[in-house]
Structure 1
Amino acid sequence: MDRTAGQKRTSGAFLYPLIDRFDQRMLDMGDGHQVYVEQSGNPDGVPVVVCHGGPGGGCSPAMRRYFDPEVYRIVLFDQRGCGLSRPHASVEANTTAHLIADMERIRETLKIDRWMCFGGSWGATLALLYAQAHPDRVLHLVLRGVFLAQQSELDWFYGGGVARFFPDLWAQFTDLIPAGEHEDLIAAYHERLFSGNYAVEARFGRAWAGWENALAAVDPAWPMGEAPADYARAFSRLENHYFVHKCFISEGQILRNRGRIEHIGADIVQGRQDMICPPLSAWRLAQGWDRAHLKLVQASGHALSEPRITEALVEATNRLRPVLRAAL
């Protein structure tokens, strides 16, 4: 793709045109949750499942645009409690094990033998954990902004690490909480996000989501904006619920179990200036994994929508087209 000197290009310059779905459905998981699933692209193409971030972020139509629609059968789903899945903002029967089981249920329902897993941030976490649970079902991994669900990563973002770079924004995030509770802000926000008072939950949900959104992109030309109250409440409740429970995995589990997936190829796209999920986690994941290729993207942060991140991801999915076709 050509570049125009001195002219900024948005992520849309690298994406495929928006396409419509050829299938959408709600899957009843049998425990009170209904999960939204959609398909687009080529019904006979290379299957790819997109794991969105958060937890609680939900999918968006733009996520279909990272794949050649003539080649890929694109499966998007909203994880439990968010997006179009129901019940909205629910944390009951909502754990990492439930999400992995949901992915298997989706794969079996759609009669897919093997698929590529594509995910960023928490979506990268979920893709890795799914692959470790079902390595025979994964063709390839495309990961962005790696989060390994380790305590050091939570301490960085909610314990004052990144606050050294953003003291003004950190003050906005912490000033809502009494000083005596600052030692554990995840727990302090948990109390308010699950207060039972919608107005309180929405207020603190916006603050929780706002802290993350403010740090997502390096270039202010692509601001993330303020989330609507319903979205912010669901996103923040779900994310906080998972973080309070350490994402329902043991410390260091993903790296410890990497041997289960080292036969699978992986493309890892990581913003070098990612302030939410610093590059150290992606680096540690890739080291010694012969089939993993780590691309550190200059002048880029965490957001999927940042142009250089988008360009690298689309380059990866394009390059993989013949490889994955041959693997099926």
Structure 2
Amino acid sequence: MHTFFPEIKPYQRHIIAVEPPHELYVDESGNPDGIPVLFVHGGPGAGCGKFDRRFFDPQIYRIVLFDQRGAGRSRPHAELQTNSTQKLVEDIEFIRKTLGIDKWVLFGGSWGSTLSLVYAQTYPERVLGLILRGIFLCRPVDLLWFYQEGASRLFPDYWEDFIQPIPEEERHDMMNAYYRHLTGDNQIQQMTAAKAWSLWEGRTATLRPNQEVVESFTEPHRALSLARIEAHYFVNNAFLEENQILRDAHKLADIPGVIVHGRYDVICPLDNAYLLHKAWPGSELNIIREAGHASREAGIVDALIRATNDMAKDLGERPDQLA
């Protein structure tokens, strides 16, 4: 089994101003002359974490991490103004140009897979390859499954805690009810809602209970941006047209890709990955038998690191792709 590469520190950090009021945190680590790879975090709103640069061999990859608008170390924190999928796609392209990168690999999980796919469909000529985990197509059916009815039947005890902050008369539309609480003027109500929203996600992210994952989701700074930005995106159908990612899958035809998905992923059920794989002939689908959604589960880590190693080898055999 492959495990995380040793911890490394960035060799360069940037604050990149994009559309006001947003400033993005970006850092680079690994080999400055290596294969450029962009880590695209989940949520939206989760920000990058301490394990995220450890999926890549630092001798081979130039590893770029960034916190999306309102997330992590980007400013202002949890900001919803001018925060949409299309804005994030343009932010990624602006980062590429700012760092002087011609083409790069995109590595994204959950919402990070969504954003990576939309970027690749918008700028296919800039993508060397895609490594994606926990595919999230962001269709209305996917949002209703996790935030209204579906996952609630698998975790009725956790669901009871999730609905608790919402008055009974508002529970017929949990996403909009949470959005109202998360964007209201009452800061105590806002934080209570943020913690409950994030706790629901953290508890259901792994096949086996994992307190460390739960704690990372419910840490107050992260919980607020995660809950506010996710609710903002999801009440707007992630700012995507209906079935947009599968509809535009043909634009990925010349891009090699690896899909890693847990068999028992409750947040983003396996049909997301299966349908994408069928619509994208150049993709390889790895279903991880004993895993849920989280990137830190052993089988997921193993498959993702195998994928980064294999892609580096493949790109090394096709140096024209890197020119």
Query: Which TM class, normalised by the smaller chain length?
Result: over 0.9
- 2:247: which partner in 1? 256
- In the alignment, the residues of structure 1 paired with residue 213 and residue 125 of structure 2 have an alpha-carbon distance, to the nearest angstrom, of 37
Partner of residue 190 from structure 1, selected from 168, 176, 179: 179
Distance 1:18 1:103 in 2: 25
Is 1:177 the counterpart of 2:149? The answer is no
Cα distance in 2, alignment partners of residues 222 and 288 from structure 1: 36
The one-character-per-residue Cα deviations of 1:82-133 (angstroms, maximum 9, x if unpaired) are 1000000100011111100100010000000000000000000000000001
What TM-score, normalized by structure 1, do the two folds share? Answer: 0.94
Separation (CA, whole Å) in 1 of partners of 2:295 and 2:264: 13
Counterpart of 1:103? 92
> How far apart are 1:197 and its partner, in Å?
2.0
The match for 2:277 among 267, 276, 286 is 286
Aligned partners of 2:211 and 2:4: how far apart in 1? 16
How does 1:220-239 map onto structure 2 within 5 Å? 220-221=209-210, 223-226=212-215, 227-239=218-230
Which of 283, 290, 300 in structure 2 is aligned with 1:309?
300
SS of the counterpart of 1:14? coil
Q: Distance in 1 between matches of 2:214 and 2:259?
A: 27
Q: 1:206 to 1:221 in 2, by over 3 A?
A: closer
Moved over 4 A (4+): none
Match of 1:208 among 191, 197, 208: 197
Distance 2:276 2:44 in 1: 20
- Distance in 1, matches of 2:299 and 2:112, equals 19
User: What is the aligned counterpart of 1:61 among 14, 30, 50?
Assistant: 50
> Which amino acid letter does the alignment assign opposite residue 223 of structure 2?
A
- Name the structure 2 match of 1:33: 22
The DSSP-based 3-state class of the residue aligned with 1:220 is coil
**Identity of counterpart residues, as a percentage?**
44
Distance in 1 of aligned mates of 2:167 and 2:29: 48
Counterpart-to-counterpart distance in 2, 1:240 and 1:193: 8
Displacement of 1:28 after TM fit? 0.6
Aligned to 1:324: 315
Give 1:288 shift: 4.2
**TM-score normalised according to structure 2 size:** 0.96
Show the counterpart of 2:4: 15
Gaps of 5+ in 2: none
- In structure 2, what residue type is equivalent to 1:217? T
Q: How far apart, in 2, do the equivalents of 1:186 and 1:216 lie?
A: 19
RMSD value, Cα: 1.1
Q: What letter matches 2:44 in structure 1?
A: P
| Corresponding position of 2:148 | 159
The worse-fitting range, judged by mean Cα deviation, of 158-167 and 137-146 is 158-167
Distance apart, 1:223 and its partner CA: 4.5
SS for the counterpart of 2:44 is coil
TM-fit CA distance, 1:289 = 2.3
Name the counterpart of 1:51.
Answer: 40
Shift of 1:222: 5.8
Aligned residue number for residue 101 of structure 2: 112
User: Which consecutive unaligned segments of at least 5 residues does structure 1 have?
Assistant: 2-12
Aligned to 1:144: 133
Q: Quote the offset at 1:221 in angstroms.
A: 4.9
1:82 to 46, 68, 71: 71
| Aligned mates of 1:221, 1:260 — CA distance in 2 | 38
Question: In the TM superposition, what is the alpha-carbon distance from 1:230 to its structure 2 partner?
Answer: 2.4
Cα shift readout 1:199-256 (whole Å, capped 9, x = no counterpart): 1111100000000000001112565233222221111001100001111011100000
